[in-house]
Structures are given as structure tokens and as C-alpha cells.
Chain A
Amino acid sequence: MKKKIIHIDQLSGNISRRTLLGGAATAAVVLVQTASGKTIQEGVSTTELLPDDPTKRVGPLPGEVGTRSAFEKLVKKPSETSSRSPLQDFYGIITPSDLHFERHHAGVPAIDPAKHALLIHGMVDKPMTFTVAELKRFPSVSRIAFLECSGNFRTGKETLTPQDVCGLTSQSEWTGVKLSTLFREVGVQPKASWFLAEGSDAAIMTRSIPVRKGWDDAIIAYAQNGEALRPEQGYPVRLFLPGWEGNTSVKWLRRLELSDQPFMTREETSKYTEPIKDGKFRQFSFDIDARSIITFPAYPKTVEKGWIEIRGLAWSGRGKVVRVEVSTDAGKTWAPATLQDPVLDKAHTAFRYLWQWHGEATEILSRVTDETGYRQPTLKQLTDARGNESGYHFNPITAWQIKSDGTVLFKPETT
């Protein structure tokens, strides 16, 4: 039957539709016109979709939403509790919203924004409730900043990708109302020193946050990268605390309660606390220390002799990145990498370093220094400082082994 493709609706990213059509070879769902002139919806294969010469067939007409090329297979790596960003597949510093890492404690809630409100009460002059529409009427603010889970460290085998090692960090432009604007509106009392932030998920997730962070740079965010928040990122409204461990940026935010003491919730006592020396445990460790990682070349990529642009990301929860150094001789010598503008406060910063590889087996590493003078430590420096247990806030220098055949492997270090 001769058929004519008249409209390509969706390329292969949509798994549910492909499954619906029952064929793994289906590359797209299209509107086709049959020989008898009838228009029907049909799945087509990659072969049918791809003409030998794209200049000989008119392509899809303008659509309602864009699609990712069927040739690009960017996926998060989900486990039962989190889903990691494919850092090795990214360019620049913005994480595509659908590839932002996920970490939540009882799934992603479905929330109707028309029925959602933010309650602020406790040590305030005027307890108030704000609908999502009302939050959007306040003066708004946007900033580009990273969000990283403090449990973002993996090691143990050579076949780990940047996504495996460090995929619980992502970056977006966040838009919302400054929390200080709302603090002003409700009249936060001078003796209030902490506030509880509570989500509307099935874990009713809570964290206690010092009030000074609320006055400083906290955002009640309702948008991400130019559109409303994704459900996985807290739709319709979340707390966003630049530079602080991801768990404190409570999603699906429904309530803030001002208090003169922390609430000692489960997430700030039995979780998100880490061992240090002498059998002690560090609590309320909010700031993300500076970290960097080479995202190319990295496992499972291979390299060829000649010029290689080493690329990666660096960031600090305490300010701007001021320097990234790269070593191509297993840490014996270091040279400054080029930082790509913009270099933003508490933001992923792209770096690159041009390297001519002659085929020798070696290791490549990166280390970042932030504007406080903090330099990313080695794993040994971290364990020397904290004792021999890993835990949250582990940000060691990551090394990639370059084998003489061009294979690239993660270097799993042990203490």
C-alpha cells in the first residue's frame, strides 16, 4: 500500500507510544495518508522515516512541542531511590529539565496547582497562605545554580561513568519569588532562628533551615529553564537553596513554620549526617564543598592518539569557581584549565584543557579551587580529615585511567 507521511507527531523518545504500537523498531508515530486518501495514525520504522537523501523528502511540519533527535539516547539512570543525570552527554552548563537528577523519598506526587497553596506560620506576625497564582504575582527572581545531592559519590569498580560516579548533580535556571519577599510579607519575628520546610509528597518530607538562609538567597521556585517546574522537581512550587545540599531544597512545598529551634526531623538526624573523627557525626552540614569531574574522556569512551580536548564541570556551594587544574600525568604535575564563561556563583562551570596524547598509559584528573581558597581534596585528604568512613559530602578528586589501547576506565580508589 502506498502511503505518504504527512505529519510526524513524535520521535522515538516516547516509550509508551512505542510500546502501544508493539514494535521496538518503531521510530515514530506519524499521520499517514493512505492510497485511498484516508488519514490515519501509524507507527513507522527508522528505515521508513529516514530517506536516503533528506533533501528529497519534505520533513515534518511545525509541531506543538520539540523532540530530541532519535539518534540521541540521553537517559537518566534510575534506581529505587534516585535517578542520575548523564553528565557525559551534556554540553555547556544547563541540564535539560527532563534529565535533571531525581531524588525523592516516596515517589513523585501529582498536584493540581489550582488546589495547592503555601502556608507560612509559626513565629510570624501574620500567618498567611499563598496560592501558586499569588506567589507568581510577587516580584520574581531568576538565577542559574547547581543542585547536588550530598550523597553524590560512588566508587568500587573501573566501569563507572561520570553519571555513575557523580550524576546526582544538575543545573537549571530557577525562577520564583525570593523567600525574603515572603518573610517580609508575613513579618518574621526577630527571635525566629529556624524554619521548617515541608513537602506535599507521600513522605511529607521536612527539613529545618536557618532563617538567615531564607533572608539571604532562598527562592520559592515555580519555574525551571523557562517553564513551570517538572513534577520530579517539585511542581508546582519548591524551595531552592543555592549551594546547599539538595535535600534541603524541599520539593512540592506546602508549608513553612518559623521557630526558635530546629525540629530535628528524620532527614537531618538519621539521614544527611556524616561520620567524622572520634566517633562523632556532623549535623546540619548544608554547604556543598567545591568539586570537579572530567566528563570527557571518561568510561565508556575510548580515545585516539593526537589532540584531545579534556572537558568537565566544576562547582562550589560557597561561591564561584576561581581555578580548575588538570593533570595528565596521574597527579604529578598540574596545569590550569580554561574556564568557560559564564562563571557564576554556586553554579556548574565548564572547563576544558587541550592535551596531546601520545599513546602512553596514564591517568587524568581535575581539581577545583573556589573563591574561599578551598581546593578539592584527594580521597586520602578527606579520609585523613574525617576518619576512614565515607558518607555524605564526599567530593574527592576523580581520576580516569587512560590505557595504551585508548580504553578509559574510572580509577576506584580505596582508603
Chain B
Amino acid sequence: MRKSPFYICLVGALVAVTLDGCFPANGKEFTGLSVARPDTVPWPTSFGFGRKATSAEITRLDIDVRPDGKGLPAGEGTAAVGKVIFATKCAACHGVGGVGGPNGSLVSTNETTTKRREKTIGNYWPYATTVFDYIRRAMPFSEPGSLTNAEVYNLTAYLLTANGIIGEKTIINAQTLPTVVMPAQKLFVPDDREGGPEIK
């Protein structure tokens, strides 16, 4: 520890220089007590890092579907076909007919229980396009990304039919899916909390 006094002196000297105020930074006089440089230093219009993305790169990743239908692929599906796929690939987690599975019901029933009503696609999901988007990106849980677009359309048609939102003959595709109005949509309101004394 014999070196300590030397280090203390050195640190003291550096602090003194810094506090004195002016030192050159990037060729300019920079004044102030703070060592940190503000982000007012002129930046170039572009740093030139990264590169332009190709349309192929964008297409490969751009799988999202918006409520207005933007992003929905070609293809179509019906409830009858979807019902079979659901029984094979989904019912183990979400229950037979989409009711009561270990990972949550997807289909509303009229049964009233003392328990809080379970949130399902039928009573809680505000947009039908979300059903397609979510199944395609994340389901089945054990084999994500394994379904074809046709299978996803069929499953979407089945789940909307089972929840009583569309008729069982309705063909679900890029044109029809965005027009499906979900019962829960009118229940959603934007966040109105804004800080301040009021508890919301």
C-alpha cells in the first residue's frame, strides 16, 4: 500500500485540471465542469453503418398481419377443415373443442360458474386478424412455425365459428378476415392514466 499517496496525488491533479474548465474536445474548446459531453456535438447526416435491406430480406421476416388485413397471405380456410387440424394439433393444450385445456380455453361457452369468466377469443379478443397472426407466429407451442398458411386460415375459421362469430360455411381469407367484427372490440379503451394525484 506504499503506493497510495502517489495515486491520491495523481487523482487530485487530474480533478484539478478538469475542474479548471477548458480542454480541447474533437478540435473544439469545450467548457464546463462536467466531463460528459452533451449530444449537441454535430452529427453527420448519416453514420453510414448498416446497409440497405433487400426486398427479399424484408419479405422473409415480414410476417405480421394488421387489423386492416395488410400482411395476410394468399389462401383460405373453413371451419370444417380447421376442426380436424385443431383436434390433432391444438386440443391437447386448449381442450376438446377449444374448451378447458391446460393452457387455456379459446372458445366461450354459456356455462356460468362461480369462477371468474375465462377470457377467450370469443369474449375477449378485439381483432380477428390477431388470431391468424398469433397462430402463425407462435403455435403450436411445441412446434412453432410448423403450420402452413392454409392450416392457419382453417384454424382461424374454426375458432371464429366455434365462438359463434362467423357461420360455419364462411370462407376465411385475406379479404374476409379483416371484415369480421369481434364482439369484444367495443370493450377496449385507451389507457387514461397520466400520473398526478388521481388514482385510475
- How distant is B183 from chain A, measured CB to nearest CB, in Å? 12
Given A203-B137, A382-B199, A385-B200, CB of A129 within 8 Å of CB of B53: yes
CA distance A205 to B52 in the complex (A): 24
Q: Is the CB of A270 within 8 A of B125?
A: yes
CA distance A119 to B51 in the complex (A): 10
- How distant is B39 from chain A, measured CB to nearest CB, in Å? 7
- Taking CB atoms, residues of chain B closer than 8 Å to A280 are 187-189
- How distant is B182 from chain A, measured CB to nearest CB, in Å? 9
Which of A128, A131, A263, A386 contacts B64 (CB under 8 A)?
A263
Residues 272-286 of A contacting B (Cβ, < 8 Å):
273, 276, 279-286
Q: Is the CB of A185 within 8 A of B47?
A: yes
CA distance A284 to B63 in the complex (A): 22
Q: Which residue of chain B has the shortest Cβ distance to A131 in the bound complex?
A: B50
CA distance A273 to B127 in the complex (A): 14
- Taking CB atoms, residues of chain A closer than 8 Å to B51 are 128-129
Residues 8-52 of B contacting A (Cβ, < 8 Å):
39, 43, 46-47, 49-52
CA distance A133 to B66 in the complex (A): 32
Q: Is the CB of A106 within 8 A of B67?
A: no
Given A121-B53, A285-B193, CB of A261 within 8 Å of CB of B199: no
CA distance A280 to B65 in the complex (A): 25
Residues 92-109 of B contacting A (Cβ, < 8 Å):
none
CA distance A135 to B62 in the complex (A): 21
Q: Which residue of chain B has the shortest Cβ distance to A204 in the bound complex?
A: B137
CA distance A121 to B46 in the complex (A): 17
CA distance A269 to B130 in the complex (A): 8
Q: Is the CB of A381 within 8 A of B195?
A: no
B169 within 8 A of A: no
Which of B63, B126, B189 contacts A264 (CB under 8 A)?
B126
* Chain A residues within 8 Å of chain B by Cβ, number: 63
CA distance A386 to B199 in the complex (A): 9
- Taking CB atoms, residues of chain A closer than 8 Å to B125 are 269-270
Given A128-B53, A287-B195, CB of A281 within 8 Å of CB of B58: no
Q: Which residue of chain A has the shortest Cβ distance to B120 in the bound complex?
A: A270
B174-200 vs A, CB cutoff 8 Å, 1 = contact: the mask equals: 000000000010011111111111011
CA distance A370 to B197 in the complex (A): 10
Which of B47, B116, B138, B144 contacts A138 (CB under 8 A)?
B47
Residue from B39, B119, B191, B197 whose CB has the most chain A CB atoms within 10 Å: B191
Q: Is the CB of B61 within 8 A of A255?
A: yes
Q: Which residue of chain A has the shortest Cβ distance to B60 in the bound complex?
A: A119
A120-137 vs B, CB cutoff 8 Å, 1 = contact: the mask equals: 110000111111001101
- Taking CB atoms, residues of chain B closer than 8 Å to A279 are 187
- How distant is B196 from chain A, measured CB to nearest CB, in Å? 5
B68 within 8 A of A: yes
- How distant is B130 from chain A, measured CB to nearest CB, in Å? 5
B57 within 8 A of A: yes
A241 within 8 A of B: no
Q: Which residue of chain A has the shortest Cβ distance to B143 in the bound complex?
A: A202
CA distance A254 to B129 in the complex (A): 22
Q: Is the CB of B195 within 8 A of A373?
A: yes
Q: Is the CB of B49 within 8 A of A138?
A: yes
CA distance A318 to B119 in the complex (A): 30
Q: Is the CB of A128 within 8 A of B52?
A: yes
- How distant is A222 from chain B, measured CB to nearest CB, in Å? 14
A169 within 8 A of B: no
- Taking CB atoms, residues of chain A closer than 8 Å to B138 are 105-106, 202-205, 266
- Taking CB atoms, residues of chain A closer than 8 Å to B63 are 204
CA distance A254 to B67 in the complex (A): 22
- How distant is B45 from chain A, measured CB to nearest CB, in Å? 8
Q: Is the CB of B196 within 8 A of A259?
A: no
- Taking CB atoms, residues of chain B closer than 8 Å to A374 are 195-197
- Taking CB atoms, residues of chain B closer than 8 Å to A370 are 195
Q: Is the CB of A206 within 8 A of B137?
A: yes
Q: Which residue of chain A has the shortest Cβ distance to B116 in the bound complex?
A: A389
Residues 283-304 of A contacting B (Cβ, < 8 Å):
283-287, 289
Which of A121, A185, A319 contacts B62 (CB under 8 A)?
A121
Q: Which residue of chain B has the shortest Cβ distance to A255 in the bound complex?
A: B61
Q: Is the CB of A264 within 8 A of B127?
A: yes
Q: Which residue of chain B has the shortest Cβ distance to A254 in the bound complex?
A: B61
Q: Is the CB of A121 within 8 A of B130?
A: no
| Given A119-B57, A119-B58, A129-B50; 11 other pairs, CB 8 A cutoff | A121-B58, A127-B52, A130-B49, A131-B50, A135-B49, A185-B49, A196-B64, A204-B63, A206-B137, A276-B189, A283-B189
Q: Please, could you name 15 A-B residue pairs with CB atoms under 8 Å apart, sorted by A?
A: A129-B52, A138-B49, A198-B61, A202-B144, A259-B66, A266-B130, A283-B189, A284-B190, A285-B191, A285-B193, A319-B195, A372-B195, A374-B196, A389-B116, A393-B193
Q: Interface of B with A (CB < 8 Å)?
A: 39, 43, 46-47, 49-53, 57-58, 61-68, 116, 119, 121, 124-127, 129-130, 133-134, 137-138, 141, 144-145, 184, 187-197, 199-200
A-B interface, 7 closest residue pairs, ranked by CB to CB distance from nearest: A372-B195, A285-B191, A130-B50, A266-B134, A204-B137, A127-B53, A203-B138
Q: Interface of A with B (CB < 8 Å)?
A: 105-106, 119-121, 126-131, 134-135, 137-139, 184-185, 196, 198, 202-206, 254-255, 257, 259, 261, 263-266, 269-270, 273, 276, 279-287, 289, 318-319, 370, 372-375, 377, 381-382, 384-386, 389, 393
